[in-house]
Structures are given as structure tokens and as C-alpha cells.
Amino acid sequence: MLVHWVDVFAERSFQGNPLAVVMADDVPLDTNAMQAIAQEFNLSETTFVIGLSDGRAQVRIFTPSTELPFAGHPVLGTAWVLLQRILKGARNQITLQLAAGDVAVELEEESGVLWLQSPSPLLQEGLNPTTAAELLNLSEQDLLSTEYPIQRADIGPCFQIIAVSDRQALARCRVNAAAYEAYLADKQTVDGLFVFTTDSHSADADFAARMFFSADGVREDPATGSANCCFAAYLQSLYNGPFTAQVDQGVEMGRASRIHIEVGDDNIRVGGRVQPVFQGTLTTLPDHGKPVTGE
């Protein structure tokens, strides 16, 4: 069973967010087996292609601990593998059939950027500034909650979108694990903390961001497509007219990522580049060491 390892939202290899793409379209895997494989890889997400025909692919997405209905960097990374490695450039568009619905992805061949058509997130009132500051181990003065109100966004995964004053405040973010776990215990869904500033890391970017989430403890994500889909909708609610923006994420982790945002009058696209790292063969299934068949 072929496995492709790629870096997503990466301008070069060993940056961005790693992803494993398992080609399981000819090997029957149940949910438990997929979850066990994702846990073994221990990446933020692993995808499984379980069907492919006529420019459409059935895909399931797993973190090390649970299945997700939608996530952005797995969508882009999986689409790149299918378009470039499986279909070998025969087409530049593909639709991924996810638990959350169909998501179209287009490869812009000249720039090498893949664009996903974002689902529509639900924006709601977010955390109060006092709680947000406590969760991030910041002071309320570090937040820009008047200019950029804190909002909760639900796109399958859920995020609290929190603005801070500058890169120094962004760098000081240290999630209070006890407060975060207590907060999550009161929720039916797990909210990631998407923290941003207009004080960008590079001259050609508009925002710098970090994203913290819980998966067997507090973790940080180097590039989060679903959170940036929500961020684009958040910005759309604040700004008038179409716009584009560039977001740097993962810099503090040493995994610099570049996320492209494109907002139209009635649609949102999020994009980035994908870099191949390696491919290999999964030879054993997680069911008592059963060997893989159908390779």
C-alpha cells in the first residue's frame, strides 16, 4: 500500500505542515485500522484515499486520535499527490469527497499554488478577552479585541480567532494547559486557538499566525488550512470588497509556512504550495500484524 509524505503550505521541503497520504483505494481498511495507522505516523493529519475515478476521490482524514470531516492542509496535500503522482499531470483539477462534503481543488500550474474552494464556516461570538488572555498566558493589553473582536468559527473543526498586538506578543503565547483543558471540558467540540497579528514576519506577507489545539495534550500546528479558511471568512466580515492576503504560520516552530487567501464577493479560496518528501510502502496492517494485500 503506497504512502506519500509531503509538506503542505511549504515554499520548500522540510517546511510547512507534513502530511501522509495513504493510497487505500484497492485495500479494504476499516475505521479502526485507519485510526491506528494515523496514530503510528503521529502527524497532525493522515489521509486515506479510498476511491478514485473521473476526477473525484473519496478521502478520509484522521488525526492521531480522531477522524475529521474537513481539514485544509490534508485536502491540498492529497490533491497534489493525486494530480501529480497518481494522475501524473493529466488534469489540474480534482474534487475530494469528504465527510463534510465535496471540496474542489485546482492546481495553478504557472505558480504551483493549489487552491481549495472553502466551505462556508459559521461565525459566532467568541471568548471574552479575559479568558482568551488566560488561555494564552498573555495580558489583556496584548490583545486587539476591540479592533478585531474575538470570534468562534465552525467549519467542521472549530477555532477561536484571536488578534494580538504584534509579533512579540505572538511569540510569547504559551497555552495554559490546565485552563485550556478545563475550557474544553465544557464544550461539545474542541476549539483550536488561532492567534494572529498584522505585524507580519516578512515584507510580502500581511499577517503572522499560530494555531494551538488539543490532541493527547496541547500541540501547535505549523500550517492550518481549515483555520485559515475561517480566518478568511472572519476578515471578509470585517473588510469590504474582494481582497487577497498572505499569512505566515509556523515560524516560531521552525516550520515556516505560507498560506494564500483569496476572498471574492461570494467565495473564498485558500491556497499553498506542496513539496514532496518521500514515498514508501506500508507492508503491515494494524490487525495483529496482518500483511497488506492488493499492493
Checking if the pLDDT of 289 tops 70, the result is no
Dist CA 247 CA 206 (whole Å):
6
Q: What confidence score (pLDDT) does residue 295 get?
A: 46
Beta strand residue intervals within 27-68, DSSP E:
46-53, 56-62, 67-68
Fold held by 2-118+275-281: Diaminopimelate Epimerase; Chain A, domain 1 (3.10.310)
* Mean pLDDT score of the chain: 93
Q: Which residues are catalytic?
A: 45
User: pLDDT tens digit string along 273-287?
Assistant: 999 999 999 998 887
Evaluate whether the domain defined by 122-266 bears CATH number 3.10.310.10: yes
Please state the pTM of the whole predicted model.
0.91
Checking if the pLDDT of 270 tops 80, the result is yes
Q: What confidence score (pLDDT) does residue 27 get?
A: 85
Checking if the pLDDT of 88 tops 80, the result is yes
Q: What confidence score (pLDDT) does residue 290 get?
A: 64
Checking if the pLDDT of 28 tops 80, the result is yes
Checking if the pLDDT of 230 tops 60, the result is yes
Is residue 101 within 8 Å of 61, Cβ to Cβ? no
Can you give the residue ranges of every domain in the chain?
A: 2-118+275-281, 122-266
